Structure 1
Amino acid sequence: MSRAADSSAFNGDLASAVNNFFNFPETLEKFVFPSRAHEHNDNKGVSSIPVDILDAQKEYIFFMDVPGLSKSDIQVTVEDESTLVIRSGGKRKREEGEEEGCKYLRLERRPPKKLLRKFRLPENANVSAITAKCENGVLTVVVEKLPPPPKPKTVEVTIS
Protein backbone atom coordinates (compact mmCIF):
# COMPACT_ATOMS: atom_id res chain seq x y z
CA MET A 1 0.00 0.00 0.00
CA SER A 2 1.41 3.39 -0.95
CA ARG A 3 2.00 6.07 1.63
CA ALA A 4 -0.59 8.35 -0.09
CA ALA A 5 -3.29 5.66 0.11
CA ASP A 6 -2.31 4.99 3.71
CA SER A 7 -2.59 8.68 4.53
CA SER A 8 -6.03 9.11 2.90
CA ALA A 9 -7.39 6.04 4.72
CA PHE A 10 -6.09 7.45 7.99
CA ASN A 11 -7.63 10.85 7.28
CA GLY A 12 -10.99 9.19 6.54
CA ASP A 13 -10.80 7.26 9.80
CA LEU A 14 -9.69 10.37 11.66
CA ALA A 15 -12.57 12.39 10.20
CA SER A 16 -14.96 9.61 11.17
CA ALA A 17 -13.49 9.44 14.67
CA VAL A 18 -13.77 13.22 15.10
CA ASN A 19 -17.36 13.14 13.83
CA ASN A 20 -18.21 10.30 16.24
CA PHE A 21 -16.59 12.22 19.08
CA PHE A 22 -18.71 15.31 18.39
CA ASN A 23 -21.87 13.21 17.99
CA PHE A 24 -21.29 11.06 21.08
CA PRO A 25 -23.72 13.06 23.26
CA GLU A 26 -26.51 12.44 20.72
CA THR A 27 -25.67 8.74 20.50
CA LEU A 28 -25.70 8.46 24.28
CA GLU A 29 -28.92 10.48 24.49
CA LYS A 30 -30.63 8.16 21.95
CA PHE A 31 -29.66 5.19 24.11
CA VAL A 32 -30.67 6.75 27.44
CA PHE A 33 -33.78 8.58 26.13
CA PRO A 34 -35.17 6.49 23.24
CA SER A 35 -38.36 8.58 23.21
CA ARG A 36 -36.29 11.51 21.94
CA ALA A 37 -35.09 9.62 18.87
CA HIS A 38 -37.25 11.86 16.67
CA GLU A 39 -34.89 14.75 17.40
CA HIS A 40 -32.02 13.16 15.50
CA ASN A 41 -33.57 12.47 12.15
CA ASP A 42 -31.57 10.62 9.49
CA ASN A 43 -33.22 12.55 6.64
CA LYS A 44 -30.41 14.55 5.09
CA GLY A 45 -30.73 18.22 5.84
CA VAL A 46 -34.13 17.87 7.52
CA SER A 47 -34.34 18.41 11.24
CA SER A 48 -37.07 17.24 13.54
CA ILE A 49 -37.33 19.88 16.24
CA PRO A 50 -39.00 18.85 19.52
CA VAL A 51 -42.51 20.14 20.12
CA ASP A 52 -44.60 20.54 23.27
CA ILE A 53 -48.32 19.91 22.80
CA LEU A 54 -50.84 21.17 25.34
CA ASP A 55 -54.35 19.70 25.45
CA ALA A 56 -56.32 22.65 26.84
CA GLN A 57 -60.04 22.72 27.49
CA LYS A 58 -61.03 24.39 24.19
CA GLU A 59 -57.91 23.94 22.04
CA TYR A 60 -54.67 22.10 21.33
CA ILE A 61 -51.56 24.28 21.53
CA PHE A 62 -48.26 23.35 19.86
CA PHE A 63 -45.04 25.07 21.03
CA MET A 64 -41.86 24.78 18.96
CA ASP A 65 -38.55 26.58 19.46
CA VAL A 66 -37.44 28.07 16.13
CA PRO A 67 -34.61 30.47 17.01
CA GLY A 68 -33.46 32.61 14.13
CA LEU A 69 -36.48 31.86 11.93
CA SER A 70 -39.03 34.51 11.10
CA LYS A 71 -42.69 33.90 10.39
CA SER A 72 -41.96 34.19 6.66
CA ASP A 73 -39.55 31.22 6.93
CA ILE A 74 -42.18 28.89 8.42
CA GLN A 75 -45.14 27.22 6.73
CA VAL A 76 -48.05 25.69 8.68
CA THR A 77 -50.55 23.63 6.66
CA VAL A 78 -53.13 20.87 7.06
CA GLU A 79 -52.82 17.90 4.71
CA ASP A 80 -55.28 15.06 4.17
CA GLU A 81 -57.86 16.89 6.31
CA SER A 82 -56.28 15.77 9.59
CA THR A 83 -52.48 16.13 9.45
CA LEU A 84 -50.89 19.30 10.78
CA VAL A 85 -47.62 19.98 8.94
CA ILE A 86 -45.00 22.47 10.13
CA ARG A 87 -42.08 23.01 7.77
CA SER A 88 -39.35 25.43 6.92
CA GLY A 89 -36.98 25.57 4.02
CA GLY A 90 -35.16 28.30 5.89
CA LYS A 91 -31.68 29.16 4.80
CA ARG A 92 -29.02 30.00 7.32
CA LYS A 93 -27.69 33.51 7.05
CA ARG A 94 -23.95 34.00 7.39
CA GLU A 95 -22.62 35.52 10.59
CA GLU A 96 -21.07 38.97 10.33
CA GLY A 97 -17.39 38.51 9.51
CA GLU A 98 -17.85 34.85 8.49
CA GLU A 99 -15.64 33.99 5.53
CA GLU A 100 -17.10 32.52 2.34
CA GLY A 101 -15.04 29.30 2.28
CA CYS A 102 -15.28 28.31 5.95
CA LYS A 103 -17.03 25.12 7.03
CA TYR A 104 -18.56 24.37 10.42
CA LEU A 105 -17.72 21.14 12.24
CA ARG A 106 -20.85 21.50 14.39
CA LEU A 107 -23.73 23.93 13.97
CA GLU A 108 -26.33 23.93 16.75
CA ARG A 109 -27.08 27.55 17.66
CA ARG A 110 -28.88 28.42 14.45
CA PRO A 111 -31.96 26.96 12.88
CA PRO A 112 -31.50 23.93 10.65
CA LYS A 113 -31.56 24.25 6.88
CA LYS A 114 -34.92 22.53 6.80
CA LEU A 115 -37.35 21.35 9.42
CA LEU A 116 -40.42 19.18 9.10
CA ARG A 117 -42.92 17.95 11.68
CA LYS A 118 -46.24 16.22 11.03
CA PHE A 119 -48.97 15.57 13.57
CA ARG A 120 -52.16 13.54 13.20
CA LEU A 121 -54.89 15.72 14.65
CA PRO A 122 -57.65 14.20 16.81
CA GLU A 123 -61.18 13.90 15.43
CA ASN A 124 -62.37 16.83 17.53
CA ALA A 125 -59.81 19.24 16.01
CA ASN A 126 -61.35 22.08 14.02
CA VAL A 127 -58.99 22.26 11.03
CA SER A 128 -60.82 25.38 9.83
CA ALA A 129 -59.85 27.27 13.00
CA ILE A 130 -56.06 27.08 13.24
CA THR A 131 -53.90 30.08 14.10
CA ALA A 132 -50.13 30.43 14.36
CA LYS A 133 -47.74 33.07 15.59
CA CYS A 134 -43.98 33.27 15.81
CA GLU A 135 -42.57 35.50 18.55
CA ASN A 136 -39.16 35.57 20.23
CA GLY A 137 -38.04 32.36 18.52
CA VAL A 138 -41.10 30.34 19.57
CA LEU A 139 -43.74 29.15 17.11
CA THR A 140 -47.16 28.71 18.71
CA VAL A 141 -49.88 26.92 16.74
CA VAL A 142 -53.40 26.85 18.20
CA VAL A 143 -55.93 24.30 16.93
CA GLU A 144 -59.42 24.89 18.26
CA LYS A 145 -61.51 21.92 19.34
CA LEU A 146 -64.94 21.23 17.87
CA PRO A 147 -67.78 21.40 20.38
CA PRO A 148 -68.76 17.99 21.70
CA PRO A 149 -71.72 16.43 19.92
CA PRO A 150 -75.03 16.94 21.73
CA LYS A 151 -75.94 14.12 24.04
CA PRO A 152 -78.89 12.12 22.78
CA LYS A 153 -82.08 12.77 24.67
CA THR A 154 -83.80 9.96 26.42
CA VAL A 155 -87.54 10.21 26.16
CA GLU A 156 -89.55 7.98 28.38
CA VAL A 157 -92.58 6.51 26.68
CA THR A 158 -95.49 5.48 28.85
CA ILE A 159 -96.94 2.10 28.17
CA SER A 160 -100.72 1.95 28.11
Structure 2
Amino acid sequence: MSLIADSGVFNGDIAAAVSHLLNFPESIDKFAFPSRSNGTNETKGVSSIPVDILDTPKEYIFYMDVPGLSKSDIQVTVEDENTLVIRSNGKRKREDGEEEGCKYMRLERRPPQKMLRKFRLPENANVSAITAKCENGVLTVEVEKLPPPPNKSKTVQVTIA
Protein backbone atom coordinates (compact mmCIF):
# COMPACT_ATOMS: atom_id res chain seq x y z
CA MET A 1 0.00 0.00 0.00
CA SER A 2 1.07 3.53 -0.66
CA LEU A 3 1.58 6.15 1.99
CA ILE A 4 -1.36 8.18 0.62
CA ALA A 5 -3.75 5.22 0.76
CA ASP A 6 -2.61 4.35 4.30
CA SER A 7 -3.24 7.89 5.53
CA GLY A 8 -6.94 7.58 4.81
CA VAL A 9 -7.00 10.71 2.63
CA PHE A 10 -8.56 8.89 -0.33
CA ASN A 11 -11.40 7.16 1.53
CA GLY A 12 -13.98 9.21 -0.45
CA ASP A 13 -13.95 10.68 -3.88
CA ILE A 14 -11.03 12.65 -5.29
CA ALA A 15 -12.75 16.03 -4.77
CA ALA A 16 -13.09 15.37 -1.05
CA ALA A 17 -9.42 14.42 -0.90
CA VAL A 18 -8.31 17.58 -2.67
CA SER A 19 -10.63 19.64 -0.47
CA HIS A 20 -9.08 18.00 2.58
CA LEU A 21 -5.54 18.64 1.37
CA LEU A 22 -6.27 22.27 0.57
CA ASN A 23 -8.21 22.68 3.83
CA PHE A 24 -11.32 24.14 2.12
CA PRO A 25 -14.49 24.10 4.19
CA GLU A 26 -16.96 21.43 3.11
CA SER A 27 -19.69 24.04 2.49
CA ILE A 28 -17.92 25.18 -0.69
CA ASP A 29 -18.61 21.77 -2.26
CA LYS A 30 -22.31 22.66 -2.59
CA PHE A 31 -21.39 25.18 -5.28
CA ALA A 32 -19.43 22.68 -7.37
CA PHE A 33 -19.93 23.07 -11.10
CA PRO A 34 -17.72 21.99 -13.99
CA SER A 35 -15.58 25.00 -14.89
CA ARG A 36 -13.49 23.57 -17.69
CA SER A 37 -14.22 24.06 -21.36
CA ASN A 38 -16.75 21.65 -22.78
CA GLY A 39 -15.70 22.33 -26.36
CA THR A 40 -18.40 24.92 -27.06
CA ASN A 41 -17.76 28.42 -28.34
CA GLU A 42 -19.21 29.78 -25.10
CA THR A 43 -16.03 28.91 -23.21
CA LYS A 44 -13.47 29.63 -25.95
CA GLY A 45 -10.93 32.22 -24.76
CA VAL A 46 -12.61 32.50 -21.37
CA SER A 47 -10.71 32.85 -18.11
CA SER A 48 -11.78 31.57 -14.74
CA ILE A 49 -11.48 34.29 -12.09
CA PRO A 50 -10.92 33.01 -8.52
CA VAL A 51 -13.86 33.48 -6.19
CA ASP A 52 -14.35 33.54 -2.42
CA ILE A 53 -17.72 32.23 -1.17
CA LEU A 54 -18.92 33.19 2.30
CA ASP A 55 -21.74 31.17 3.89
CA THR A 56 -23.53 33.36 6.45
CA PRO A 57 -26.68 32.47 8.42
CA LYS A 58 -28.83 34.64 6.10
CA GLU A 59 -27.08 34.52 2.70
CA TYR A 60 -24.28 33.28 0.47
CA ILE A 61 -21.82 35.98 -0.62
CA PHE A 62 -19.55 35.61 -3.67
CA TYR A 63 -16.46 37.87 -3.97
CA MET A 64 -14.55 38.17 -7.26
CA ASP A 65 -11.74 40.56 -8.22
CA VAL A 66 -12.60 42.26 -11.52
CA PRO A 67 -10.07 45.10 -11.88
CA GLY A 68 -10.72 47.54 -14.68
CA LEU A 69 -14.30 46.39 -15.26
CA SER A 70 -17.38 48.47 -14.56
CA LYS A 71 -20.83 47.23 -13.64
CA SER A 72 -21.93 47.56 -17.27
CA ASP A 73 -19.21 45.05 -18.29
CA ILE A 74 -20.54 42.32 -15.97
CA GLN A 75 -23.68 40.22 -16.33
CA VAL A 76 -25.13 38.15 -13.47
CA THR A 77 -27.97 35.73 -14.33
CA VAL A 78 -29.65 32.58 -13.05
CA GLU A 79 -30.06 29.71 -15.52
CA ASP A 80 -31.86 26.39 -15.15
CA GLU A 81 -33.53 27.57 -11.92
CA ASN A 82 -30.45 27.08 -9.70
CA THR A 83 -27.30 27.96 -11.65
CA LEU A 84 -25.72 31.33 -10.90
CA VAL A 85 -23.85 32.57 -14.00
CA ILE A 86 -21.36 35.44 -13.90
CA ARG A 87 -19.85 36.62 -17.19
CA SER A 88 -18.07 39.64 -18.57
CA ASN A 89 -17.08 40.84 -22.00
CA GLY A 90 -13.51 41.43 -20.80
CA LYS A 91 -12.94 44.82 -22.43
CA ARG A 92 -11.03 47.66 -20.85
CA LYS A 93 -10.44 51.02 -22.46
CA ARG A 94 -6.79 52.10 -22.70
CA GLU A 95 -6.07 55.71 -21.93
CA ASP A 96 -4.89 57.63 -24.98
CA GLY A 97 -2.23 60.31 -24.68
CA GLU A 98 -3.59 63.79 -24.10
CA GLU A 99 -1.35 65.37 -26.73
CA GLU A 100 -0.74 64.34 -30.30
CA GLY A 101 2.40 62.28 -30.77
CA CYS A 102 1.99 60.38 -27.49
CA LYS A 103 2.64 56.66 -27.52
CA TYR A 104 3.00 53.91 -25.00
CA MET A 105 6.58 53.04 -24.11
CA ARG A 106 5.56 49.85 -22.30
CA LEU A 107 2.36 47.79 -22.08
CA GLU A 108 2.55 45.35 -19.17
CA ARG A 109 -1.04 45.30 -17.93
CA ARG A 110 -2.97 42.61 -19.73
CA PRO A 111 -6.49 43.52 -20.73
CA PRO A 112 -9.06 41.43 -18.89
CA GLN A 113 -10.18 38.33 -20.73
CA LYS A 114 -13.75 37.25 -21.11
CA MET A 115 -14.89 35.71 -17.87
CA LEU A 116 -17.47 32.99 -17.27
CA ARG A 117 -18.18 31.33 -13.94
CA LYS A 118 -21.09 29.07 -13.07
CA PHE A 119 -22.16 27.98 -9.61
CA ARG A 120 -24.85 25.43 -8.75
CA LEU A 121 -26.80 27.03 -5.93
CA PRO A 122 -28.01 24.98 -2.94
CA GLU A 123 -31.72 24.22 -2.52
CA ASN A 124 -32.09 26.89 0.17
CA ALA A 125 -30.92 29.71 -2.14
CA ASN A 126 -33.61 32.28 -2.94
CA VAL A 127 -32.92 32.90 -6.64
CA SER A 128 -35.46 35.72 -6.72
CA ALA A 129 -33.44 37.65 -4.10
CA ILE A 130 -29.98 38.06 -5.65
CA THR A 131 -28.09 41.34 -5.62
CA ALA A 132 -24.78 42.26 -7.25
CA LYS A 133 -22.54 45.28 -6.93
CA CYS A 134 -19.17 46.16 -8.39
CA GLU A 135 -17.09 48.50 -6.25
CA ASN A 136 -13.35 49.25 -6.28
CA GLY A 137 -12.63 46.35 -8.63
CA VAL A 138 -14.49 43.76 -6.54
CA LEU A 139 -17.75 42.14 -7.64
CA THR A 140 -19.96 41.12 -4.71
CA VAL A 141 -22.96 38.88 -5.39
CA GLU A 142 -25.32 38.17 -2.50
CA VAL A 143 -27.78 35.28 -2.64
CA GLU A 144 -30.37 35.33 0.13
CA LYS A 145 -31.20 32.04 1.86
CA LEU A 146 -34.76 30.74 2.12
CA PRO A 147 -36.06 30.14 5.64
CA PRO A 148 -35.94 26.50 6.73
CA PRO A 149 -39.13 24.56 6.04
CA PRO A 150 -41.51 24.26 8.97
CA ASN A 151 -41.37 21.11 11.04
CA LYS A 152 -43.97 18.76 9.56
CA SER A 153 -44.00 16.28 12.39
CA LYS A 154 -47.38 15.11 13.57
CA THR A 155 -48.34 13.46 16.81
CA VAL A 156 -50.52 10.39 16.37
CA GLN A 157 -52.96 9.45 19.11
CA VAL A 158 -52.54 5.86 20.28
CA THR A 159 -55.80 4.07 20.93
CA ILE A 160 -56.44 0.89 22.90
CA ALA A 161 -58.15 -1.85 20.99
TM-score for both structures, normalised by structure 1: 0.64
Whole-Å Cα distance in 2 between the matches of residues 84 and 40 of structure 1? Answer: 16
Q: Following TM superposition, where does structure 1 have runs of at least 4 consecutive aligned residues deviating by more than 2 angstroms?
A: 38-41, 95-100
**Which structure shows the higher helix fraction?**
1
- Deviation at residue 73 of structure 1 after TM alignment: 0.6
2:35–2:118: 8 Å Cα contact kept in structure 1?
A: no
- Report the structure number with the largest CA radius of gyration: 1
Taking structure 1 as reference, are residues 70 and 120 closer, same or farther at Cα in structure 2, changes over 3 Å only? same
Counterpart in 2 of 1:159?
A: 159
Counterpart in 1 of 2:93?
A: 93
Paired-residue identity, % = 70
- What CA RMSD, in Å, does the superposition of the two structures yield over aligned residues? 3.2
Q: Secondary structure at the match of 2:72?
A: helix
How many residues are treated as equivalent by the alignment? Answer: 121
Counterpart in 1 of 2:49?
A: 49
Deviations 1:49-82 (A, max 9, x none): 0000011101100000111111111000001111
1:142 aligns with 2:150: no
Unaligned segments of structure 2, at least 5 residues: 1-21, 25-33, 38-42
- Deviation at residue 156 of structure 1 after TM alignment: 3.9
TM-score for both structures, normalised by structure 2: 0.64
Taking structure 1 as reference, are residues 40 and 107 closer, same or farther at Cα in structure 2, changes over 3 Å only? farther
